[in-house]
Amino acid sequence: MNCEEFHIPVLVKEVMHLLNLKKGDIVFDGTLGGAGHTIVMTKAIAPTGKIIGVDLDSQAISTATSKLKSLGLLKYVFVINDNFVNVVNILKKLGIEKLNAFLLDLGLSSIQIEKSGRGFSYLKNEKLDMRFNPLQKLSACNVVNEYTEDKLREIFFKYGEEKWSGRIARNIVEHRKAKSVKYTSELVEIIRESIPNSFKYRIKGHPAKRIFQAVRIEVNSELENLEKVITEGLEVMEKGARMAVISYHSLEDRIVKKKFEIYAGKCICPRGFPVCTCGAARLGRVLTKKVIRPESDEIKKNPRSKGAKLRVFEKL
């Protein structure tokens, strides 16, 4: 199976329409992945524009570079192995002052799920890792085997919204008294055993989905980085530039919606607050009054696109 079969970009038509790219634009693609969006955007801004394609995963960088080179598009792309949260420093190193467009696709790429071997999937038996950057110290194995029961319960509930967070955390701690949890299959089994039989048939989707999400978010500081990159990304965008963010679960989408509302000037403090503390300041406008989701035809062709949610902000 080749790279193209592994990676199918989502909401491409909608992203291209709302970003409104032109020849000569400078675009920051903070989640390069398999280069699906990058390829389409490159054709819109070439031959005078540039894409800054960033990914923390060195495996994704290698795949994207190979694909872009084979299509003759690499000369239009700066391929950067870094975290998108470092957008300001990345631009400084490239000598670029302002951006005309900014894209984040926050989903795991098919390559990461199917081929990385880093335990992102609860359907495959691999070592617990879940690091986007294999060089960082904290891994899923560290989280599962070293965090206290209280800390595990906290991240399972906060990042996974898991009803049985307490039972699962307790059972993990009990299990590791005898043996460390080193493989995804071991963690999945603990999760399954933690859910009461009377509730198992009510669960939508795989019972381990929310816990794997929570551990991955913790390992990679995903939500903190998302909040930071929206703020810093807007600072380095030209007037009229647009930021598009594709999220895949409610925690991400809430952050994007909230940040866009704040920068559209809407105060989101509780009613009755004597002083605004949310930091609302009108920098632009939200172009997506309602979140945009994939159409049924796209979902049929790419089932993994089903949970995608697109929001777009224009800087004024």
> Residue 310 pLDDT > 90, yes or no?
yes
Whether 171 and 190 have beta carbons less than 8 Å apart is answered as yes
What local confidence, expressed as pLDDT, does residue 114 receive? Answer: 67
**Across 267-284, average pLDDT:** 81
CA atoms within 13 A on the CB side of 124: 15
What CATH number was assigned to the domain covering residues 3-112+222-315?
A: 3.40.50.150
Of 71, 62, 65, 66, the closest CA to residue 43 belongs to 71
* pLDDT top residue among 101 and 135: 101
The per-residue pLDDT for range 229-268, each reduced to its tens digit, is 999 999 999 999 999 999 999 999 999 999 999 999 988 8
What local confidence, expressed as pLDDT, does residue 306 receive? Answer: 92
- Percent pLDDT > 70 in the chain is 95
What local confidence, expressed as pLDDT, does residue 120 receive? Answer: 93
What local confidence, expressed as pLDDT, does residue 2 receive? Answer: 45
Confidence (pTM): 0.91
> Residue 284 pLDDT > 90, yes or no?
yes
What local confidence, expressed as pLDDT, does residue 271 receive? Answer: 79
What local confidence, expressed as pLDDT, does residue 274 receive? Answer: 79
How far is C-alpha 292 from the geometric centre of its chain's CA atoms?
A: 17
What local confidence, expressed as pLDDT, does residue 281 receive? Answer: 79
The per-residue pLDDT for range 178-190, each reduced to its tens digit, is 999 999 999 999 9
The per-residue pLDDT for range 190-223, each reduced to its tens digit, is 999 999 887 766 677 789 999 999 999 999 999 9
> What is the topology classification, in CATH, of domain 117-220?
DNA polymerase; domain 1 (1.10.150)
How far is C-alpha 266 from the geometric centre of its chain's CA atoms?
A: 25
What local confidence, expressed as pLDDT, does residue 202 receive? Answer: 67
Whether 164 and 194 have beta carbons less than 8 Å apart is answered as yes
Residue ranges covered by each domain of the chain:
3-112+222-315, 117-220
Work out the angle between the directed axes of helices 58-70 and 36-45 (0-180°, nearest 10). 50
What's the rounded Cα separation, in Å, for the pair 261 and 49?
30
What local confidence, expressed as pLDDT, does residue 200 receive? Answer: 66
**What average pLDDT does the chain have?**
92
* pLDDT top residue among 212 and 8: 212
> Residue 1 pLDDT > 70, yes or no?
no
> Which residues contact residue 74 at a Cβ distance below 8 angstroms, ignoring those fewer than 6 apart?
65, 68
Q: What is the dihedral of CA 118, 122, 125, 126, to 10 degrees?
A: 10
**Across 116-127, average pLDDT:** 90
The per-residue pLDDT for range 18-74, each reduced to its tens digit, is 999 999 999 999 999 999 999 999 999 999 999 999 999 988 899 999 999 999 999
What local confidence, expressed as pLDDT, does residue 4 receive? Answer: 43
